[in-house]
Chain A
Amino acid sequence: MNYIQIKDLSKSYSDIQALKDLSIEINAGTLFGILGPNGAGKSTLIKILATLVEPDGGEVFVNNINLIKNPRKIRELIGYVAQDIALDKILTGRELLDFQSDLYHMNKKEKYERIKLLINQLEMNDWIDRKCGTYSGGMKRRIDLASGLLHLPKVLILDEPTVGLDIESRNIIWELLKDLKNDGMTIILSSHYLDEIDKLADSLVIIDDGKVIAQGTPAQLKNKLGGDRITLKVREFSTHEEAKKISEILSSINGISQIIINKSQGYSINFVVDKEKDLLTKLKVELAFSKFEIFSLAQSQPSLDDVYLQATGKTLLDAEISMTGKRDLKKESKQSMR
Chain B
Amino acid sequence: MELKQYNLFFLYQETVALTKRLFIQLKRRPSTLLAGILQPIIWLFLFGALFSKAPEGFLPGVNSYGNFLGAGLIVFTAFSGALNSGLPLMFDREFGFLNRLLVAPLASRLSIVLSSFFYITILSFVQSIVIMIVSFVLGYGWPEFYGLGIVFATLILLVLFVTSVSLCLAFVLPGHIELIALIFVINLPLLFASTALAPISFMPSWLGWLASLNPLTFAIEPIRVAYTQTMNLDIVALHAPYGDLTCKSCISILFSLTVFSLIIIRPLLNRKLN
Per-residue 0/1 for B20-36: is the Cβ within 8 Å of any A Cβ (1 yes, 0 no)? 11001100110000000
Q: Is A237 an interface residue (CB 8 A)?
A: no
Given the known inter-chain contacts A72-B105, A75-B103, A91-B21, please indicate yes or no for A105 contacting B97, CB distance below 8 A.
no
Q: Is B101 an interface residue (CB 8 A)?
A: yes
Binds B, one of A11-19, A61-69, A82-90, A204-212: A82-90
Given the known inter-chain contacts A72-B105, A75-B105, A90-B29, please indicate yes or no for A338 contacting B21, CB distance below 8 A.
no
Compute how far the CA of A52 lies from the CA of B105 in the bound complex, rounded to whole angstroms: 12
A84, B14: Cβ atoms closer than 8 Å? no
B174, A102: Cβ atoms closer than 8 Å? no
- Give the chain B neighbours of A334 by CB distance below 8 A: 174
Q: Which of A52, A131, A338 contacts B93 (CB 8 A)?
A: A338
Compute how far the CA of A88 lies from the CA of B29 in the bound complex, rounded to whole angstroms: 13
Q: Which of A76, A82, A90 contacts B96 (CB 8 A)?
A: A82
Q: How far is the CB of A130 from chain B (nearest CB, A)?
A: 13
Compute how far the CA of A60 lies from the CA of B104 in the bound complex, rounded to whole angstroms: 18
A86, B273: Cβ atoms closer than 8 Å? no
Compute how far the CA of A180 lies from the CA of B28 in the bound complex, rounded to whole angstroms: 36
B103, A102: Cβ atoms closer than 8 Å? no
Give the interface size bracket for B toward A: 20 to 34
Q: Is A185 an interface residue (CB 8 A)?
A: no
A102, B13: Cβ atoms closer than 8 Å? yes
Q: Which of A72, A75, A90, A337 contacts B24 (CB 8 A)?
A: A90
A105, B273: Cβ atoms closer than 8 Å? no
- Give the chain B neighbours of A98 by CB distance below 8 A: 17
User: Interface on A for B, CB 8 Å cutoff?
Assistant: 50-52, 72-73, 75-76, 78, 80, 82, 84, 86-88, 90-91, 95, 98-100, 102-105, 131, 147, 334, 337-338
14 A-B pairs whose Cβ atoms sit less than 8 Å apart in the complex? A51-B102, A51-B103, A72-B106, A80-B103, A86-B97, A90-B24, A90-B25, A98-B17, A99-B20, A102-B13, A103-B100, A105-B14, A338-B98, A338-B99
Q: Which of chain A's residues has its CB closest to B94's CB?
A: A337
- Give the chain B neighbours of A102 by CB distance below 8 A: 13-14, 16-17
Compute how far the CA of A95 lies from the CA of B17 in the bound complex, rounded to whole angstroms: 10
Closest 7 A-B residue pairs measured CB to CB? A102-B17, A86-B96, A103-B104, A75-B105, A76-B105, A86-B97, A80-B103
Q: Which of chain A's residues has its CB closest to B93's CB?
A: A337
Q: Which of chain A's residues has its CB closest to B98's CB?
A: A338
Compute how far the CA of A19 lies from the CA of B14 in the bound complex, rounded to whole angstroms: 34
Compute how far the CA of A105 lies from the CA of B98 in the bound complex, rounded to whole angstroms: 18
A338, B273: Cβ atoms closer than 8 Å? yes
Per-residue 0/1 for B99-136: is the Cβ within 8 Å of any A Cβ (1 yes, 0 no)? 11111111100000000000000000000000000000
- Give the chain B neighbours of A86 by CB distance below 8 A: 95-97, 99-100
Q: Which of chain B's residues has its CB closest to A101's CB?
A: B17
- Give the chain A neighbours of B4 by CB distance below 8 A: none
Compute how far the CA of A95 lies from the CA of B24 in the bound complex, rounded to whole angstroms: 9
Given contacts A80-B103, A87-B97, A334-B174, could you give 16 more A-B pairs where the C-beta distance is less than 8 Å? A52-B99, A52-B103, A72-B105, A78-B103, A86-B100, A88-B97, A95-B24, A98-B17, A99-B17, A99-B21, A100-B100, A102-B13, A103-B101, A105-B105, A147-B100, A338-B272
Q: How far is the CB of B270 from chain A (nearest CB, A)?
A: 12
Compute how far the CA of A337 lies from the CA of B20 in the bound complex, rounded to whole angstroms: 24
- Give the chain A neighbours of B25 by CB distance below 8 A: 88, 90-91
Compute how far the CA of A73 lies from the CA of B107 in the bound complex, rounded to whole angstroms: 11
Q: Which of chain B's residues has its CB closest to A80's CB?
A: B103
Compute how far the CA of A98 lies from the CA of B94 in the bound complex, rounded to whole angstroms: 23
Compute how far the CA of A52 lies from the CA of B101 in the bound complex, rounded to whole angstroms: 10
Q: Which of A88, A100, A337, A338 contacts B104 (CB 8 A)?
A: A100
Q: How far is the CB of B22 from chain A (nearest CB, A)?
A: 10
Compute how far the CA of A100 lies from the CA of B21 in the bound complex, rounded to whole angstroms: 10
Q: Is B10 an interface residue (CB 8 A)?
A: yes
- Give the chain B neighbours of A100 by CB distance below 8 A: 100, 104
Compute how far the CA of A193 lies from the CA of B164 in the bound complex, rounded to whole angstroms: 45
Q: Which of chain B's residues has its CB closest to A54's CB?
A: B274
Q: Which of chain A's residues has its CB closest to B17's CB?
A: A102
Compute how far the CA of A72 lies from the CA of B274 in the bound complex, rounded to whole angstroms: 10
A50, B17: Cβ atoms closer than 8 Å? no
Compute how far the CA of A25 lies from the CA of B212 in the bound complex, rounded to whole angstroms: 64
Compute how far the CA of A50 lies from the CA of B98 in the bound complex, rounded to whole angstroms: 13
Q: How far is the CB of A154 from chain B (nearest CB, A)?
A: 12
Q: Which of chain B's residues has its CB closest to A133's CB?
A: B28
Q: Which of chain B's residues has its CB closest to A86's CB?
A: B96
Q: How far is the CB of B116 from chain A (nearest CB, A)?
A: 15
Q: Which of chain B's residues has its CB closest to A131's CB?
A: B28
Compute how far the CA of A252 lies from the CA of B74 in the bound complex, rounded to whole angstroms: 90
Q: How far is the CB of B96 from chain A (nearest CB, A)?
A: 3
B96, A103: Cβ atoms closer than 8 Å? no
Q: How far is the CB of B79 from chain A (nearest CB, A)?
A: 26
- Give the chain A neighbours of B96 by CB distance below 8 A: 82, 84, 86
Residue of B13, B14, B29, B99 with highest tally of chain A CB at under 10 A = B99
Compute how far the CA of A90 lies from the CA of B106 in the bound complex, rounded to whole angstroms: 23
Q: How far is the CB of A271 from chain B (nearest CB, A)?
A: 44
Compute how far the CA of A100 lies from the CA of B101 in the bound complex, rounded to whole angstroms: 8
- Give the chain A neighbours of B103 by CB distance below 8 A: 50-52, 75, 78, 80
